[in-house]
Amino acid sequence: MTGNNKLLALFGANKPAPWRGRYSLARLFFTFYLLVMGSFVAIAIFADFVISTAVKGITDGYTSRFMRGTIVLIEDELFRRPRSEWPRTIEALDRKFAYKLEIVDRWTLKLPHKQAEKLDDGDLAIDAQGDILYHRLKQTPQVLVVGPISPERNPDYRKGIPLDLRISLLTWSLIGFCLAIVVWLWVHPVWRDLEAMRQTARALGEGLFEARAPTMRSSAFGPLAETLNGMAERIQRLIATQKELSSAISHELRTPIARTRFALEMLAEAGDRSEHERLSRLIEADLDELDGLIDSSLTYARFEREQPQLELSTVFIAPWLEEQVEANRLLGRTLDLQVDVSALPPMQRVELDSRSMPYAVTNLLRNAIKYARARIRVSAEIANDQIALHVDDDGIGIPEAERERVFWAFTRLDRSRDRATGGYGLGLAIARLVLEQHGGTASAEESPLGGARFTLCWRLSQSVTES
């Protein structure tokens, strides 16, 4: 009792935290919006810098050609007057222009080397912003300064927010608003799908394995929802199979164990040697039955649990089928066991997994051996690009209503519950699992011999068909 309490305490201390919270639509929206908007602004600034740098020379050249005539006229007006009147002349002209005019000494200007050379050579020099022009007045130490040309940079004309700034603010506001709408339209279905999958995962985590993710509205999460639902179906099927397997094995174990216990009690009271040997044989038969039940159960559980990658190999179907029949011929004892491959083309080849397909054929043969009266016929044929293997017997057959149920695990018809032909109800289930792994089917119908016909059918590969 103390050990159990310690175990419960250990699990209680490490139990998982309860499910809490949900996806926040506002947080998801703002996070994604800031990421997209920040990336867009960074790209726009970088693109503007690259474009401005690339066209700066073209813009400066255009400004120089555009303003050259005006500067020459101003220069001619100055040189028609004495130099002493230049300040008053510039002041008068300045009032007539929308940009500032000024005369400064050459030594007061600090220009880039290239622009300084152009100024000293008599050409127009332009500042780094491309908005102020410099022109040396005919070999004098004085320079005519024109600008800033842009009214927004001229303090005398600046009124309110500059036009370019207003246009930029309006443009970026419209871009931000439109981007917010687009992001919302994209984020909202994503959030809804994430929340739906979270609820489904939560239900699965709490043991509600019938829960399924609804149809996703966002195509990005469609494959994820299908994968989640496939996983849930697989888990549900595995749990159901394990429960069924455990329950069926427990039920099947009772009979041989009870017979063994009864035989042991009789063995203790057996008086003569013959009775002692008979009871020993019964105990040994029950142990063999237990061993067979465990082996069949493990085989079925392995095929049901695993979805292995088939290692397909190409075989000649006629000799391969003969080999499988010969391996089980001794079990038939006095039965007439025939193989008929006359319907197959000569040297017909098929692809199969040489590890798992023998399980299917062997289980059908052993099933036929249990119920056949005198004859068993194994045949093969090609139909609709598929290979079909038939195992026929002349036994009592299977009612039409039971022909699908016989492939269920631990299903045995009432007439097979005697010890002579009992089995475990797993052979046909294993055969169907093997064929499903090959992309084929296993079915039961009435046999031409009067008993049951079991058919394994799977598709021929394209390479085998062409050859």
Q: How many CB atoms lie within 10 A of CB 260?
A: 18
In 196-322, the DSSP E strands lie at 312-316
- The C-alpha atoms of residue 28 and residue 342 are separated, in whole angstroms, by 69
- The C-alpha atoms of residue 251 and residue 60 are separated, in whole angstroms, by 96
Q: Residue 14: which pLDDT band, with cuts at 50, 70 and 90? A: very low
Are the beta carbons of 315 and 353 closer than 8 angstroms? no
Helix or strand run (H / E) with residue 126: strand 125-126
pTM above 0.75, yes or no: no
Residue bearing the bigger pLDDT, 362 or 121: 362
Return the CATH class of domain 220-303: mainly alpha
Q: With 60 as the cut, is the pLDDT of residue 48 above it?
A: yes
For residue range 272-321, list pLDDT tens digits in order: 778 778 778 888 877 876 776 677 667 666 666 666 567 888 999 999 99
Task: Identify the weakest region by mean pLDDT among 197-201, 250-254, 349-353.
Answer: 250-254
Which residue ranges make up each domain of the chain? Answer: 25-159, 220-303, 310-466
For residue range 118-170, list pLDDT tens digits in order: 777 777 777 766 678 888 877 788 888 887 776 555 555 555 566 666 777 78
- The C-alpha atoms of residue 128 and residue 353 are separated, in whole angstroms, by 78
Residue bearing the bigger pLDDT, 243 or 437: 437
- The C-alpha atoms of residue 76 and residue 378 are separated, in whole angstroms, by 118
- The C-alpha atoms of residue 315 and residue 349 are separated, in whole angstroms, by 5
- The C-alpha atoms of residue 96 and residue 89 are separated, in whole angstroms, by 11
For residue range 194-231, list pLDDT tens digits in order: 888 888 888 888 878 788 888 877 777 778 888 888 88
Q: With 80 as the cut, is the pLDDT of residue 419 above it?
A: no
- The C-alpha atoms of residue 262 and residue 114 are separated, in whole angstroms, by 115
Residue bearing the bigger pLDDT, 466 or 314: 314
Residue bearing the bigger pLDDT, 71 or 446: 446
Q: How many CB atoms lie within 10 A of CB 460?
A: 18
Residue bearing the bigger pLDDT, 73 or 58: 73
Helix or strand run (H / E) with residue 378: strand 375-383
Q: Going by C-beta distance under 8 Å and a sequence separation of 6 or more, which residues neighbour residue 162?
A: 152
389 to each of 238, 360, 383, 406, 425, how far by Cα in Å?
Answer: 29, 11, 11, 18, 21
Q: Residue 245: which pLDDT band, with cuts at 50, 70 and 90? A: low
Mean of pLDDT values over 53-64: 60
Q: Residue 108: which pLDDT band, with cuts at 50, 70 and 90? A: confident
- Per-residue model confidence (pLDDT) at position 444: 93
Best CA proximity match to 459, nearest among 381, 384, 356, 348: 384
Where does 310-466 sit in CATH, by number?
Answer: 3.30.565.10
- Per-residue model confidence (pLDDT) at position 306: 62
Q: Residue 331: which pLDDT band, with cuts at 50, 70 and 90? A: confident
Q: Which of 51-60, 288-297, 350-359 tops mean pLDDT? A: 350-359
For residue range 379-398, list pLDDT tens digits in order: 999 988 899 999 999 998 88
